[in-house]
Amino acid sequence: MEQGMGMTGEGKLRAVIFDLDGVIVSTDEFHYRAWQKLADEEGIYFDRTINERLRGVSRMESLAILLESAVRDYTEGEKLVLAARKNGYYRQFLDTAVSSADILPGVMPFLEACKAAGIKIAVGSSSRNSPTILERIGLTDYFDATADGNDIANSKPHPEVFLLAAERLGVPPGECMVVEDAEAGVAAAVAAGMKCLAVGSAAGDPRAALSAASLETVRWQRCQGLFE
């Protein structure tokens, strides 16, 4: 298989893989509110600073981070019940409060510009709710490929979800760029051998090739320049 050669000028940007929560849609806020509700009910301290560590990591790993502040140990069975409760709260938000209006600023013009330039686009998300979210925001059939929490054994920072998305696109990792809002996601992109555009909470991460507060201010040509 052809390898991306970004460092030598032979590589080319052929695909962009987008994280979903916090990159395409503002569901990251609903993840936070659902975890906060669970923590409050359980009498476990939780705040937005701790929540930052949950970005990009799986539901059970997120719960493990939340339980670091618990005053007692929880059995594996109790943990499954807690994770299901959190997901129930989160699903209520998805069912009642998420629509295409929650697509983040700059996302649709960026996606359209990629498509117009012949750059393939994919979703690479840790979330098992990814198909529901894409449906809620009207983008189910919009991407060339998707890979999500239902397809993988290892969550970010492991590169599995991005490598799977690239494989499904038929594009070598060295010719893919990832867009991420999570520290774990930037690490996953780098581990996959992909360049990363860090946005939102991840902007400024030194491992990212490019950072921006939001996709609103990024032109895909600037990303292409990273591969020349």
- Longest distance between any two alpha carbons in the chain, whole Å: 55
Residue with smaller CB distance to Mg ion, 148 or 181: 181
Using the rule CB under 6 A, is 31 a contact of ligand BG6?
A: yes
Chosen from ligand BG6, Mg ion, none, partner binding at 51 (C-beta under 5 to 8 Å by type): none
Scanning the chain, the segments in alpha helix (DSSP H) are 28-42, 48-52, 59-66, 76-97, 107-116, 130-136, 160-169, 183-191, 220-225
**Residue with nearest beta carbon to Mg ion:** 22
Residue 54 or 163: which CB sits closer to ligand BG6?
54
Binding segment toward ligand BG6, per CB under 6 A, in 2-10, 97-105, 124-132, 134-142 = 124-132
By beta-carbon proximity to Mg ion, the closer residue of 38 and 199 is 199
Find the binding residues for Mg ion in span 2-41 (CB under 5 A). 19, 21-22
Which is closer to Mg ion, CB of 21 or CB of 175?
A: 21
> Do residues 41 and 203 lie in contact, with contact meaning Cβ atoms separated by under 8 Å?
no
Residue 218 beta carbon to Mg ion: minimum distance, rounded to whole angstroms? 16
Residue 12 CA to residue 92 CA, distance in Å, equals 42
* Catalytic positions: 19, 21
CA distance between the termini of the chain: 20
Q: Which of 39, 54, 189, 218 binds ligand BG6 (CB under 6 A)?
A: 54
Residue pair 207/213 in contact by the 8 Å Cβ criterion: no
Instruction: Give the chain's length.
Output: 228
- Considering only 30, 46, 114, 129, the residue that binds ligand BG6 (CB under 6 A) is 129
Question: What CA–CA distance (Å, rounded) separates 127 from 132?
Answer: 10
Contact 149, 43 (CB under 8 A): no
Residues in contact with ligand BG6 by CB under 6 A are 20-21, 31, 54-59, 62, 87, 125-129, 149, 182
Enumerate binding residues for Mg ion (CB under 5 A). Answer: 19, 21-22, 181-182
